Structure 1
């Protein structure tokens, strides 16, 4: 494939997805620090003063159920940060829409009443980042845009491969077009590895989610409308939690999934002790029968193959939290790189377009003169 064709693919692909790609990248950079922003905006709702021990999960579940008698709890986030409030997902009876509240896990106090999953600013930004506010169609669109981001990274690196010889070259005193050209190549060269990771993992998540929705509801079937509790309310959630940590050695539960559709198990997702910094906090799973409470399966990520571990690593690679604050800062900054690339790229395209037209017209005249002679 010629460089000329690659350049056209790179240029026109960038122009085609420029605006939605900028929205996705800008919101993604902001969301790297989602909790920190929430803490600034609503500290009393998302932060708690830790005590030596949490309340029993059964006590907490009862407090949530009594405060929301028309809802059923379907998910529960147990954050690793002890000063971060629990996040509890609910579905109202007669609905299939998810909502959530925030709970002080030490005092059984509800810190924020039930709201939609897009109620607060950062929640709305997350939905904008994930679906462009277009629901299932947005899943597909954002996934395809992420694929284009990968294409832009690969073609850009190939087109400017010679730039690697002078990676730090930035002719600040040169003509503006040369300066923008250097800046575009410089930012692209440094940011492309991270952008390729973000593009690939984002495409994987969105397209697999879209495929799941398509598979589940291709025949027109609607999401299940919650009518009643779908698990045995005589089961002790705390007892199941404790058993999950016995079923898998060194298991620490971080998310509880309660049935929101008939036939589902109660599942405890969690983190296990491992030397792999890329394994996520939800990598291992213990499942219990929703009626009997018997263990139905265990999934220890440490016992899985390279493929399963690689797919699980996509979470930390996408969020950039695998090395703590330093990697998050880098991911935030590199996530902003497309704003520079878009500005410099469009400027160069507009500057050079008249030149290309004049060159094409000149070549056409020469061809005509040659035919006449």
Structure 2
């Protein structure tokens, strides 16, 4: 590669890094506790006590759980019911109308065998604050898209950093850290080494983060494309005045897709359903398939299955990106690995910022020690 091409790649690396570094530092720092969000929630909230089940007592139905939630929040209607993966608990969301805002919604967890309330989830805790800062900086969709653009710049910085690193490595063995040189040289070598070691992980986390920031536009695209086709025969029909059994609706959906389990139910009128349907969202029952969702539309008046189809490729990419971004696929060992790599990324970003700031105070050309800085440079923020 010519020296002119290397210089262009160097400038690309320098400026993409400079623009995104502070935001990437924020994402890495907030992402660290989010990797262990389940463990931290358990530590902060303690063990969720479940009501005792008397021997021989008949198990309650989903309708009973729904009645408990509606009794707790009078004057509201059901919006969503989600199913806990680890405990016999359903989480019910209610609101004053089908298109209620988040601020208007009420949330409660119900023990399925007894239909007794367990706990109203806390959406105002420290982990909720960290999650909001990490996903959109409390700016909504605009914040999500902005952070997505920062993630894209981060990926460009990674690619350009590899290109710039290649000629640099011709002068040093891989893994060399020049501890006998000045502080800037040591940090440069450390920065380059960690950058190459974490290359694949940083690329995966950066790109999945970009995909996750597109969640709202992708869901809106699915609703305008796929969902509108699925409910077209029912267009204009009002919300039924009498509803068929919720338990039967879930059973019908599961029977149509053997080997799946319910993830959540969207009630008639909400954005993931239609005015005339229960939308029963099913997921695979194995670790490899549980992120793959299939919506089944059940006529809320008759209880009949009217439509079921797999999610399009872009929604599948979105679903697979979400747990991969936080290392949720392999249990605690993978989370620990993700955390160590995240710490390495923080060191990379911090050292890149230091290298850029330190270079601004270098001796003028021709002065003592100035020659020590004439080696090829590869610092992301230089």
TM-score by length of 2: 0.76
Structure 1 residue 25 and structure 2 residue 28: aligned?
yes
Structure 1 residue 39 and structure 2 residue 42: aligned?
yes
Which ranges in structure 2 are unaligned for 5 or more consecutive residues? 225-237, 371-382
Alignment partner, residue 369 of structure 1: none
Q: Is contact 2:21–2:353 with CA below 8 Å preserved after alignment? A: no
Distance 1:282 1:7, change over 3 A: same
Distance 1:280 1:151, change over 3 A: farther
How far apart are the structure 1 equivalents of 2:25 and 2:349?
A: 8
Alignment partner, residue 220 of structure 1: none
Name the SS for the 1:133 alignment partner.
coil
Structure 1 residue 320 and structure 2 residue 327: aligned?
yes
Q: Is contact 2:16–2:157 with CA below 8 Å preserved after alignment? A: yes
Alignment partner, residue 251 of structure 1: 260
Structure 1 residue 293 and structure 2 residue 296: aligned?
no
Pairing partner for 1:90 from 89, 94, 105: 94
Distance 1:330 1:47, change over 3 A: farther
Residues 103-134 of structure 1: per-residue CA shift (max 9 Å, x gap) = 3333323233376xx42222222222111110
Q: Is contact 2:77–2:94 with CA below 8 Å preserved after alignment? A: yes
Pairing partner for 1:13 from 10, 16, 19: 16
Q: What is the RMSD computed on CA atoms of the aligned residues?
A: 3.5
Q: How many residues align?
A: 340
Pairing partner for 2:154 from 149, 153, 156: 149
Distance 1:248 1:100, change over 3 A: same
Higher RCO (Cα < 8 Å, 6 or more apart): 2
Pairing partner for 1:129 from 123, 131, 134: 134
Alignment partner, residue 283 of structure 1: 293
TM-score by length of 1: 0.78
Written as runs of structure 1 = structure 2, the 5 A alignment for 1:1-373 is: 2-44=5-47, 46=48, 48=50, 55-82=60-87, 85-93=89-97, 95-97=100-102, 98-113=105-120, 118-161=123-166, 163=169, 166-210=173-217, 230=239, 234-259=243-268, 260-261=270-271, 263=275, 265-273=277-285, 278-300=288-310, 310-355=317-362, 358=365
Q: Is contact 2:284–2:290 with CA below 8 Å preserved after alignment? A: no
Name the SS for the 1:69 alignment partner.
coil
How far apart are the structure 2 equivalents of 1:312 and 1:62?
A: 31
Alignment partner, residue 365 of structure 1: none
Which ranges in structure 1 are unaligned for 5 or more consecutive residues? 218-228, 363-373
How far apart are the structure 2 equivalents of 1:357 and 1:289?
A: 77
Residues 143-187 of structure 1: per-residue CA shift (max 9 Å, x gap) = 111211211222222222365995443344543212211221122
Shift of 1:263: 3.1
